Structure 1
Amino acid sequence: MTSETSTDLLDDVFRLLLDAGASDLHWSDGGSLHLRVNGFLELAEVPESVSRISFDELTTHLIGRDNFATFVERREYDGARTVLGGSRVRINVFFKRGRIAWAVRLLPSEFFPMESLGLDLDICARICELKQGLVLVTGATGSGKTTTLASLLHHINRHRREHIFTIEDPIEYVHESRECMVSQREVGVDTASFHEALRSVLREDPDIVLLGEMRDRISMDAALTLSETGHLTFATLHTSGAVDTISRIISAFDSMEQGQIRERLATNLKVVITQQLVPWTNREGRSLCAEIMVSTKAIRAMIRDGKERQMLSAIETSSDEGMTTMNKSLADLVKRRLITQKEAGLYSPDRDSLKRHFEVPQLMRSV
């Protein structure tokens, strides 16, 4: 089969993804093809043209012959590529029950303007004006963390004259240099490993650094060091809120180090955004819900003193600082009639607290 023919067949597959308005495609050798549309999986029909060739051959063209040989040896592959003349997808290829399977995520072809993210615009603007510090965007896989960070970096790229430096695995959004100079390094392509790239980043003269996911103690320490040395540093974590985020970072270090880490974190952490994408009741869309914690004198004291469990109360009472809780964000969707109260409860970190957003005050009941 020629490369041109294989490309045409891959295009038939990816066209399904785009035409359905899906975010993800799941397919395995001998299995059904599913698309995730607005958060829900739907069965899709495999194009007849594709069903005539082997899944191994199609996968080889998807990730490249050299990568396929490595994939067979390691049993895993992560990457990204451009398809259909401009759309970009993130690709994970793996084995399940001895057969090859794909998980493909469509990345938006354009950067989301900050106004359309669903986050407080003033907070986003304040983040983009920071000269130094650590900004964390957290949440589960598929919660839009990468999209949020790409939007913030895109805004900075258009309004500042500095050096944006990223370490990504893989590169998902491609940033062309605008007002900023942008250097994007992909693990496995531009650097041997994430940790090797971390060791050399300060020698590359960055102003703004995107580290991607902080996976371990080494990457967490690097993020703090970058922030301490005058860089604006962005990173992600798979955590469910600011309290969980602080606890996760502290617990990654030995007990003898934790006091120092608390001090470093209190000094350098600027914002924690925890987000999730919540499907509407009518399944016609999704909205971003977020908890936002901003570093204030009170928050910094809680981090230093090991009282992060008190943070949620501080977040609830600090809306004037731009903070908000996940429950407040969910309650707003209910009030806009995009989701039901029951559906909000499925995404709430604290259902009892959520219920209070819908209680009629005693004074109102007596009128």
Structure 2
Amino acid sequence: MVQGNLKEIENLFRLMVKYKASDLHLKVGSPPIMRISGKVGRLETEPYTNEKIRKMLYEILDSSQIQQFEESGDLDFAYGLAGVGRFRVNVFRQRGSISLACRKVNIHIPNFQDLHLQAKAMERIANLKQGLVIVAGATGSGKSTTLASIIEYINTHRRCHIVTIEDPIEYLYTDKKSFINQREVGVDVRSFHVALKYVVRQDPDVILVGEMRDEETLEAALQASETGHLVFGTLHSSDVASTIGRILDLFPVDKEKQIRQSLAFNLRAIVCQKLLPSCREGVNVVVAQEILLCNPTAQKLIMEKQDKKLRELVRGATQEGMQDFNQSLVKLFKANLIDKKTALSASPNPEQLEMNLKGIYLGEDKGIIG
């Protein structure tokens, strides 16, 4: 299991790849901890001491990195291991001892088909030239992976300049038709807001903002979309209607009319996600998606503060590429990607889904708001 020609931490990196772990954690008093398919587990080995972790860490640091860590107590760096992969490492102190959080940076970027996404809707979003696209969902719902697949689609099909602002970088892109600059918050730039402040001067066509977590960042993203850029960003919200509310919550009440107007003119799509365990052999997880593709009706509802009616619009506009969570769950179930129990537990309206799974649809399921 352990290769003698590798440093001790490099063997752990090799194990991460072997077990398909996304993260590795080292802390005093515990064996190494890995996150695999979203779940954490400990390796069956002796607990690590502070001296052991220090020795493992200092083996892969240069003198300037050691000095920086000794002085500040924090350190971020990337580490590449030939034939294994690239890793982003954060070192910090807790309770007077050293801890490490290591994340594998993915080089293989799955496409829409690999992820079992609504390919036509995703392609339509990727082919946009201007505006704001929001991918929303809870932590660990696959937002970064969906965005990576969209960025890679653009990279493969369009000649343009893409700038990503991420915390942390989770996928490494290789220039194809596009050329891509990736900036990591805390390593390359101080904050999302600072990065966005200067990004429009870097001549981008497409901008990816890892997370829009405050008023300044979201306002800068909206301004960039208004000036002809295609901007992608993430939010923590559960469905299309609540995403509008989440955006407005970041701004003072007296700005609501202005922000609604900006969203009506510049918002192009909202994709909300839930990550679900798959029942198909060889597929660990799949994503259920609620998709809003903004049209004149959506613009009108946003302007008139009728956000709740967006649910009806989404459900009734399947021919335009939209879908709500129940419609997505039905497709995943019929494709044998999830079982009925998983579908019902993930549904915002299990009673409606139960009928839909039997092929029963009420009249309002097929209506579109005028």
Aligned equivalent of 2:266, options 268, 292, 298: 268
Moved more, 258-267 or 145-154: 145-154
Aligned to 1:310: 309
1:216 counterpart = 2:206 = no
In the alignment, residue 306 of structure 1 is paired with which amino acid? K
* Helix, strand or coil at the partner of 1:267: helix
In the alignment, residue 289 of structure 1 is paired with which amino acid? A
* Counterparts of residues 1-16 of structure 1 (less than 5 Å): 8-16=7-15
Partners of 1:331 and 1:156 in 2: CA distance:
29
Displacement of 1:63: 7.3
Moved more, 81-90 or 178-187: 81-90
* Counterparts of residues 287-302 of structure 1 (less than 5 Å): 287-302=286-301
Cα distance change, pair 333–158 in 1 and its aligned pair in 2 (3 A): closer
Partners of 1:244 and 1:133 in 2: CA distance:
20
Displacement of 1:335: 3.5
Cα distance change, pair 118–340 in 1 and its aligned pair in 2 (3 A): closer
* Counterparts of residues 1-367 of structure 1 (less than 5 Å): 8-46=7-45, 54-60=52-58, 80-85=78-83, 87-93=85-91, 100-281=98-279, 285-359=284-358, 361=360
Cα distance change, pair 203–70 in 1 and its aligned pair in 2 (3 A): same
Cα distance change, pair 84–326 in 1 and its aligned pair in 2 (3 A): farther
Unpaired runs of at least 5, structure 2: 363-370
Displacement of 1:359: 4.5
Cα distance change, pair 33–346 in 1 and its aligned pair in 2 (3 A): farther
* Helix, strand or coil at the partner of 1:240: coil
Displacement of 1:227: 0.6
Partners of 1:46 and 1:334 in 2: CA distance:
40
Partners of 2:329 and 2:180 in 1: CA distance:
36
Unpaired runs of at least 5, structure 1: none
Moved more, 260-269 or 188-197: 188-197
Displacement of 1:361: 4.0
Partners of 2:22 and 2:184 in 1: CA distance:
23
Cα distance change, pair 330–37 in 1 and its aligned pair in 2 (3 A): farther
Deviations 1:164-221 (Å, cap 9, x if unpaired)? 1222233332223332232222333333433222221222121111121101000110
Paired residues of 1:167 and 1:187 also in contact (CA < 8 A): yes
Partners of 2:110 and 2:292 in 1: CA distance:
22
Partners of 2:304 and 2:58 in 1: CA distance:
54
TM-score, length-normalised on structure 1?
Answer: 0.84
Partners of 1:244 and 1:362 in 2: CA distance:
25
Partners of 2:11 and 2:240 in 1: CA distance:
43
Provide the alpha-carbon RMSD of the alignment: 3.3
